[in-house]
Amino acid sequence: MRAPPVSREPASRSSNGPAITLQADNLPGQDLAFTNRIYCNGSDFRDLLRRGGIDRPEQLPQCFVEVKRFCFTMEPTSRMEQGRLGLNRLQRECARIGLREDVVLTLQPAKNIAPMASLKISIDM
């Protein structure tokens, strides 16, 4: 059994906001593949929020992070190893992130994200 990687942490605030560095990995299960969210360990999630001045995760209805100029919704899960970031294949390909690559996640306040009220897509085959 391998030891979890150590989270290499940049300065607590970059010019764009609070950030942490995690290692890109697969999602912990196929049930998460179509959520279009990225996932990290709860400890890493709380660390990023604390760096952004958020002491309680429930203060934040959704957590947006920027990874290589792409904005993702991130959620914590106990199924991810600490120091790892779970992305699906399409997310990794779009952002050009390789497996095991170190990536910087920058917390993006919801006010910086252009809102979309709703989107419903229906595909008939």
| CATH number of the domain encompassing residue 45 | 2.40.40.20
Structural domain includes residue 56: yes
What DSSP state is assigned to residue 38? E
Residue 16 has pLDDT above 90, yes or no: no
Q: Which residue has the higher pLDDT, 19 or 10?
A: 19
* Domain membership of residue 43 as a residue range: 20-110
Nearest to 62 by CA among 46, 50, 74, 70: 74
- Nearest CA to 103 out of 84, 90, 116 is that of 84
Average model confidence (pLDDT) across the chain: 83
Residue 79 lies in a domain: yes
The reply to whether 15 falls in a domain is no
Number of domains into which the chain is organized = 1
**Residue 70 within a domain:** yes
**pLDDT for res 9:** 46
Partnered with residue 38 across adjacent β-strands are 74
- Provide the token pair at 53: 């001045």
